[in-house]
Structures are given as C-alpha cells and as structure tokens.
Amino acid sequence: MMEITNIPSFRNIVLISTFFILPLFSNAQNTNVEFNKKSFLKEDFPRLKEALAELDKGDKLFEMDTRALYLQALAHYNLANDFNPNNALLNYKIGKCLLYSLQKSTAIYFLDKAQRLNPNVSRDIDLLLGNAYHFNLDIDKAIEKYRKYMSGLNAEETKKFGKEVNKKLEECKVAKDLIEHPVRVRIDNLGSKINTRFPEYNPVINADETYLMFTSSREGTVDNGLDPMDLYYYEDIYTSLKNVGSWMETQHPGKPLNTEYHDATVWLSPDAQKLIIYRGDNGGDLLESQLKGEDWSEPIPFGKPINTKYHEASASYSSDQNTLYFVSDRPDGYGGHDIYSCTKDKKGKWGEPRNLGSDINTEYDELSVFMHPDGKTLYFSSEGHNTMGGLDIFKSIVENGKWSKPENMGYPINTTDDDGFLTISGSGIHAYYASFKPDGFGEKDIYMITFLGEEKPIFDANEDNLLSSTIIPFGVSTAPAIEVKTSELTILKGVVLDDVTRDPIEASIDIIDNVKNIPVTTTSSNKASGKYLVPLPSGLNYGINVHAEGYLFQSENVDIPPAKGYQEIVRDIYLKKVEIGKKIILRNIFFDFDRFTLRPESQAELTRLIDLLKEMPKLKIEISGHTDSYGSAVYNQKLSENRAKAVVEYLIAHGIDSKRLTYMGYGFTQPIATNKTDEGRQLNRRTEFKIMAK
C-alpha cells in the first residue's frame, strides 16, 4: 500500500507558502526574553507552559530541515510568539521558516529583530538576512549582509560555505543589472474565473491560446483530501476555454485525469489533444493522456527509460512529438536536476536518454522545460547561468544540434525568488506563469505576460495633444522600448466535417515535407468537435493529407516562406464518402511552369492515391487536368491533358491496373474560382480525380 506521506507534490518541487501576519506596531524592546519562569509573572505560568509545548512541537518539525515541515512549524511558532514576541531564537526560527515560504520579505522583520535582541543568536543570521533582503530586491543591503557573513568565517568555514555565498554575491550583481535594464512587458492576472484564494500554478496552453489547463490545491478536488506533509489540498488539474477573448468558468475534469492524490499539469500539445501530467508515484513520474472526444483517457506512465526511481519533474515534446525533453535528478547529470532528451525510433520505442550537456545544464538545478512549437526555442528554469536569485527562466535556440548561450528572460519576468514553468503562446507574444503578487486573489495566481512592442506616445483624447508625462498602468514595466519578434510559426487549424451531414469526423492528418518527401508529424481531429490544430515552422512547403475510414482522402498545400513570422490559417476540411461521381482535388501534385513532367514534391500525394486504390481494388477513377484562362483554349486543353496523362502513367508504373484509370484534359472550361486574380487562377490550376465506379 502506498505511503501517503511519501507522495511528493508538484507544488513542493519549488515552493511552499503560508500567510504570516506582522505586528501592527514594532515592539521597541531590545531585551531578549527567555522562555523560563524567571522572565514571567506567576500568573503567566499556565500560558508559558502552553507556549513551551508549542515551541517543542515547532522545534521537532524545524529540526527535520525540510521546506514543507518549516510551514507546519510556523503554525506552532506563531502561537508561542503570541505569548513572547521578544525571544531572539524564536524570532530567528520564524524568520528562517518564512524564507522558505512565499512571504520571504516578511522574514526581514523577524530576522532583524532576532539580531537586535541577540547579535549572536546564530552564526548564519547575516546570511539569512542577506537572503531576505535579496528576495525583497534590497540588493545593496543583501550585499552588505553577505559580506559581513563572509568576514566572520574561519578558513575551514570559508572552504565549506564560501562558494555558496560568492554565488549569492554574483546573483546580486546580476540582479542589479537586470533591474536597471528591465524588459518591457505587461503582466495581467487571468481573473477570478481562473484564480481563487487557493494556489493556482503550472499553466499549460494550446498554440492559439483558446484552451488552458492548470494545477490547483483548492476545495473540490477528488475526495477533498489534505496532504499531511503541508496540510494543503491534494493537487488536481483544471481546465478553461476562452470565449470571445475571455476565460470561461473553470472546469474540473474529474477521473481518470485526477485522482485522490497529487495530479499536476506538465505539458499540453499545441492542438490540446495530448497532455503530460506529473504524479507523485515512484518518487515522481510523468504520464501521458489523450483527449478522446470530450474525455481524457487513463494516463499512462512513460515507463523506462524516461521514468526511474528518481524524480522526473517536467517534460515537453518537440514539435513533431518524436523527441521528449524532460527533467530528472538521476545520478549521471551535471547537478541536482538536469534536462535530458529522448527520441523515438521508427517503431515508436524510446531510445536512451541523452543529457543536453553543459551548454544547458549546470552544477545546480534545472527544474522546468518547455519546447516552443517552433521546434527550436527551449525555455527552462535554472539556478545556474546568470541567475538573479533562485531559479530564473532562460531560453536557448538550437541550430544544427548546437544550443545557443542561455539568455535570461529578464526582470520583471524573473525575480530574486524561484521562477519557472513558463508556457509561451504559439505567437510568442504571450507567456503564462504563476506568481505571488499583492494584487492576487490568493496564495499564487496565474498571470499572462505580454511582450510589448515599441512604446508609443500617449495623446490626450480631448485636446489631441501629446501628454508631457506617460501614464504607466499597474503591472507594466517602464523599460525602454524593445523590438518584439513574433515566432516564425504558422498555425493551421479548422474542423474536419462530413461533406454532406456536416457531422464532425475523427480523421488522421499527415504533415509531409514536400521537398524532402519525409513525414513531419501526424495528428488527428477531435471526434466530438472535428477540431484540429497543427503548428508549422516556417521555411517549408507542406503537404497536408487528411483521411478517415469510409471517406476519400483530401489534401491541402501550405507553402510558408522563411521568416514569415506568426500567422494563423483557418481551413475547414469536408471529407467526401466513397461514392460514384465524387471529385477530389490533388493539391500536392506539382508541375513546372508550362510543363507536364511531375516534380519530386508530388510523390507523397501520389503515394496516398496509390494506397487508396490498393485499399479499394474495385475503385475506378478519372484523372483530370485543369488550367487557368491564360493562353488559348487549344493550348490549355493539351497542357491539361498531358498533365493528367503523366499522373496516370505514374500510377500504372507503380502497380495500378490501367483498366481502372482514365484521364482527361479540361483546360479552363471548369473553373472553381475567378480568373481575374492571382489567387483565383492558382486555384483553377489543379489536378483532380473523380470516382467512376466502385
């Protein structure tokens, strides 16, 4: 039977939290008051006994030196502090516990008071105060305390602790620079339909930002159970849809996605049909679920070699979903947690994981990973590189197998606290993450980051004059203007429907690189809605083949020039059942201008047609060629006939009986669009096949 107390939550990978209320007025007393009978009147002895009991309970948790138990210790220390707020050691312990919560700035009050009450309360008091000022962005005071702590170390202690403190000093240097040169962003709370008084975190989103999934420890989870490690509700996964630009009420998908223990979001596919989740089994494992219509399938563990007895904390697929980037603390890495990649072979079996190397991984922790749908930009969090404190979010671009130097995403995206688990939209303009902010609804909320373009002057709406000062809304960095680059990505999306009934169809969608004649990826439309979404990196000519049982396949062609930037193309696909008289346009049959020799890019489309004819051996078809209206009727009729003939000859050469094939050239006599525009003429230049018998 599973031991509940050993189930690691995703929440405790990085952060825990509590709320601690500071006294309204600072107590002016600077005399240390011990917890003994000499310090109190006889009538206070019963309360002293109760306070000592709370101290003892808190100390037992505190001495176990784990983040989650610091949180529980705080509850007991708070009760003892209510009785005696002027004990140096208690103030020290409260301050240290708060440093492991989301209210790190609150720790300054207690640590400073502890030092005033007893300058020698602990050897590490200046180190902890340095941490507290560091978290509170009071960088100069942090540097002062770090240096003071260093000056008090002997040679042996310097050898043991000097590296850690020097790293903190380096982080302060980075923090000062990043704070002085912030990135220009707007950070907006997603609102009360997503966020509650409970913690929300780990947002994952589809490529066009219409479907959001996230993790929360709130009331209403499966069984409403509490984790005994920190007394939070067990984590569950939640969803929301965007409607006319606004997020709708959060939904709880229930089982099998959620269980009575910890279930957390990790990665969502660009089309929102595949989900990776984290569960606290086996030290922390990764599992995968598929959206079948409106229901998520039973999550299946990745198993070996991805999951191990160690901690697998985060993951993200490559754009073609054949490579998985994931985080693990297995012992062969550079530091605590490292980022690895694992690639499927042609049979769908995972190969051995490969460490991404020292360009990405450091001797410290790398704790989250997200590969952008553009297929080349990796976002991850790290305690190494040029972090300004704790975990910072970095990005690196892979070119020809080489990772670029990780770039810090900058302040205020990164802070001196732990920052991670960032998800970038398909456009690259928005990012989603969780943060604790004063304007939030609860302990942690989900926010949207908008990367702003060049700052524009603000005009008075009434006087039409340039204002002498710029009004900066809350949550907007006032940094100098920076160029915002959208990702070089095209989102192809739409629905797959029956041509007659308009019912949704679950169809397989194959994406082919027409030039290289190699598959890029395969996806499918949702059987309940018919929706599909495919991210397509720029610089390629794509063949899109859509097919479903009982229907004729349909092809689309998308030619995206290099550096096209972000765009969305909507193409609804209507599949036709196999019936006599039905016509299908072969959109990925290519000829050079004024010629009728098939270009190599046509091979994938012709292979699909050959497969159809082999699957249906009684099918007889007519191949027809069509042109635009440029040129004479005689010329175009002959050109279209020769092109149709070239297709038939290719089919015969690849094993299709000639008795099943006929060809015709119709020139420009059967247009499907106007010949007055380039777009219309392009549509009219086409190859079709028509079912003659079945």
Say whether both 236 and 344 belong to one domain. Answer: yes
Say whether both 200 and 238 belong to one domain. Answer: yes
**CA-wise closest residue to 213 among 260, 250, 183:** 250
Structure tokens at 388: 């300004």
CATH of the domain at 431: 2.120.10.30
Report yes or no on 120 lying in a domain: yes
Q: Three-state SS for 26?
A: coil
CATH of the domain at 71: 1.25.40.10
Report yes or no on 481 lying in a domain: no
Say whether both 97 and 214 belong to one domain. Answer: no
User: Which residue shows structure tokens 């305690």?
Assistant: 383
Strands 489-498 and 573-575: parallel
Say whether both 105 and 8 belong to one domain. Answer: yes
Say whether both 672 and 604 belong to one domain. Answer: yes
The whole domain housing 551 covers 488-577
Strands 620-626 and 661-665: parallel
What angle is formed at CA 341 by the lines to CA 335 and CA 346, rounded to 5 degrees? 160
Q: What percent of the chain has pLDDT over 90?
A: 68
Burial class (CB in 10 A: 0-12, 13-18, 19+), 269: buried
Say whether both 104 and 130 belong to one domain. Answer: yes
Give the tens place of pLDDT for each residue, 292-305. Answer: 999 999 999 998 99
Q: What residues are paired with 366 via a beta bridge?
A: 382
Report yes or no on 497 lying in a domain: yes
Report yes or no on 459 lying in a domain: no
Give the tens place of pLDDT for each residue, 440-485. Answer: 887 788 999 999 866 654 444 444 433 332 333 334 444 443 344 5
Report yes or no on 480 lying in a domain: no
DSSP conformation letters of 379-419: EEEESSSS-SSSSEEEEEEEETTEEPPPEE--TTTS-SS--
Say whether both 547 and 501 belong to one domain. Answer: yes
Tally Cβ neighbours within 10 Å of residue 319: 20
C-alpha dist (Å) from residue 326 to 145, 289, 381, 443: 37, 17, 12, 27
Say whether both 408 and 446 belong to one domain. Answer: yes
**CA-wise closest residue to 330 among 348, 307, 350, 296:** 307
- Sequence-distant (≥ 6) Cβ neighbours of residue 201 within 8 angstroms: 11, 214, 215, 216, 421, 434, 444, 446
| Tally of domains within the chain | 4
Mean pLDDT of 632-644: 94
Structure tokens at 399: 């070119």
pLDDT at 21: 46
Say whether both 407 and 541 belong to one domain. Answer: no
Give residue 225's pLDDT band: very low, low, confident or very high (50, 70, 90).
Answer: confident
pLDDT at 24: 39
pLDDT exceeds 60 at position 2: no
Mean pLDDT of 285-297: 95
pLDDT at 25: 39
Give the tens place of pLDDT for each residue, 663-672. Answer: 999 999 999 9
Give residue 410's pLDDT band: very low, low, confident or very high (50, 70, 90).
Answer: very high
Say whether both 294 and 418 belong to one domain. Answer: yes
E strands, 529-660, are 531-537, 541-547, 554-559, 567-570, 573-575, 583-585, 620-626
Q: What is the pTM of this model?
A: 0.81
Say whether both 155 and 223 belong to one domain. Answer: no
Give the tens place of pLDDT for each residue, 165-214. Answer: 999 999 999 999 999 999 999 999 999 999 998 889 999 999 999 999 99
Mean pLDDT of 4-10: 54
Report yes or no on 408 lying in a domain: yes
Q: Three-state SS for 4?
A: helix
CA separation for the pair 20, 71 (Å, rounded): 10
CA separation for the pair 64, 74 (Å, rounded): 13
- Cβ atoms 519, 479 nearer than 8 A: no
Say whether both 229 and 352 belong to one domain. Answer: yes
Which residue, of 543, 577, 611, is where some domain finishes? 577
User: Which residue shows structure tokens 């991404």?
Assistant: 356
- Cβ atoms 547, 496 nearer than 8 A: no
Which residue, of 162, 180, 198, is where some domain finishes? 180
